[in-house]
Amino acid sequence: MKALSAKTLAGIEFAADLIRQAKYAVALTGAGISTPSGIPDFRSAGSGLWSKDEPLETASLHTFRVKPEAFFHWLRPLAGQMAAAQPNAAHLALAQLEQRGFIKAVITQNIDVLHQKAGSQNVVETHGSMKTLTCTQCYYKTDAAPYIEALVEKGDMPRCPKCGSVLKPDVILFGEQLPQKAWSAAQKEARQCDLMIVAGSSLEVLPVAGLPMQTLDRGGHLIIVNNDPTYINVRADAAILDDVAEVLPAIAEKVLNG
């Protein structure tokens, strides 16, 4: 563990106090919480997915429909990284805080299921997940694991066992609407919480990026933990610009053990 700066340590203390005082706290997480687990984020210079690929050409609903082979070629290495990934200390910290009653839900933009693997129970997946696949023609839904394994190991494109059509991962692609049930749940959590903890999100992708504003507009508090500033740092009670896998466990330790 690296030595944390005095500014970060002060932010950790203040954030822990806010969490202890909150009656209903929720977390909002983005790609940055999973990069310590070996899953690339989207916008980091040189390593982010969109520094290498054009999203509308690789991860769009149009590409999936017109050139599914190109989509799965792009997805194959990422799917392998997700399948091999394990929760890191930040995921575990949020799970511990939920288990002890300090946070009520985790809203995530991630599709990697690492929050659930860490032990979080109430997880709202605004962008879907890689857990399941759905047929584009007959809508047969199935567990993704064996198909993703075949994709990663052999490059086999998932096909429906019922009709032979292409199976689509149940994740939200560019040009696709958010799942209504998850989005409604995310908005409900944002509006009823008195504290939102944003962890590892650049808050650049709408509409999820607007959720912290819904909390603030109702008088709630805001903690941000991210390597880089977000558009709303100026409104945050605590904005900690540091490694989420170092900071969240330190905050949890303060909350749980003083």
Domain ranges of the chain: 1-38+87-127+178-258, 40-84+128-171
Give the C-alpha separation, 97 to 62, whole Å: 40
CATH class of 40-84+128-171: alpha beta
Span 156-204, pLDDT tens digits: 999 999 999 999 999 999 889 999 999 999 999 999 999 999 999 999 9
Phi, psi of 212 (to 5 degrees): -60, -35
Q: How far is CA 117 from CA 85, 87, 196, 239, 257, in A?
A: 10, 7, 22, 27, 24
Matching CATH number, 1-38+87-127+178-258, of 3.40.50.1220, 3.20.20.70, 2.60.40.10, 3.30.450.40: 3.40.50.1220
Q: b/e string for 172-198 if b means 16 or more Cβ within 10 A?
A: bbeeeebbeebbebbbebbeebbbbbb
User: Contact at 8 Å (CB) between 224 and 247?
Assistant: no
- Average pLDDT, 10 consecutive residues per value, the chain (258 residues): 88 98 98 94 49 62 92 93 96 98 98 97 96 96 97 97 97 92 98 98 94 98 97 97 97 94
Sign for the pseudo-dihedral over CA of 252, 254, 255, 258: positive
Provide the terminal-to-terminal Cα distance of the chain, rounded to the nearest Å: 20
Active site residue 221: no
User: Contact at 8 Å (CB) between 198 and 106?
Assistant: no
Span 134-154, pLDDT tens digits: 999 999 999 999 999 999 999
User: Contact at 8 Å (CB) between 17 and 9?
Assistant: no
The two domains 1-38+87-127+178-258 and 40-84+128-171 share their CATH topology (first three levels equal): no
Give the C-alpha separation, 196 to 208, whole Å: 13
Catalytic residue (choose from 62, 91, 115, 127): 127
The single-letter code of the amino acid at 233 is N
